[in-house]
């Protein structure tokens, strides 16, 4: 499963749900806008920023930036964030399978 790092907004692959759970992650629940940041845009931003030693989170959409830094994830101690628009490659049939979506977790739990 793909998760965003809350400090840089970069996608990282976790080979199993168990590994992701051990690390702990927040889930961004939101209403979709017309211009949501996609998986491909997130990957492209990371690649471009790495060439210029920039933080891709600075160039993320406001919703992702706020979820990572201000509102929830980092403030609550999470290093990882799952967001359906950024963490699912909608061009990949395997990502669109049920395994790409994290199961619900209790609020406040890790």
pLDDT tens sequence across 18-76: 899 998 898 887 777 778 899 999 999 999 999 999 999 999 998 888 888 766 688 88
Are the CB atoms for 17 and 96 separated by under 8 Å? no
Looking at residue 98, its pLDDT comes to 46
* Domain-located, residue 47: yes
Structure tokens at 81: 């964030």
Round to whole Å and give the CA distance between 65 and 84. Answer: 15
For 41, the domain range is 2-100
**Proportion of the chain above pLDDT 90, given as a percent:** 40
* Domain-located, residue 87: yes
The total of structural domains in the chain comes to 1
What pTM did the predictor assign? 0.79
Query: For residue range 52-68, what is the model confidence (pLDDT) as tens digits?
Result: 999 999 999 988 888 88
Look at residues 55, 33, 46 and name the one whose alpha carbon lies nearest to residue 2: 46
* Domain-located, residue 6: yes
């Amino acid at each position: 499963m793909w998760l965003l790092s809350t400090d840089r907004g970069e996608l990282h692959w976790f080979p199993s749900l168990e590994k992701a759970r051990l690390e702990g992650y927040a889930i961004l629940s939101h209403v979709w806008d017309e211009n949501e940041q996609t998986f491909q845009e997130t990957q492209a931003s990371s690649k471009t920023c790495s060439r210029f030693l920039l933080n891709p989170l600075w160039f993320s959409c406001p919703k992702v930036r706020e979820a990572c830094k201000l509102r929830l994830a980092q403030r609550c101690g999470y290093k990882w964030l799952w967001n359906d628009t950024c963490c699912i490659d909608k061009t990949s049939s395997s990502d669109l399978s049920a395994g790409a979506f994290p199961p619900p977790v209790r609020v406040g739990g890790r």
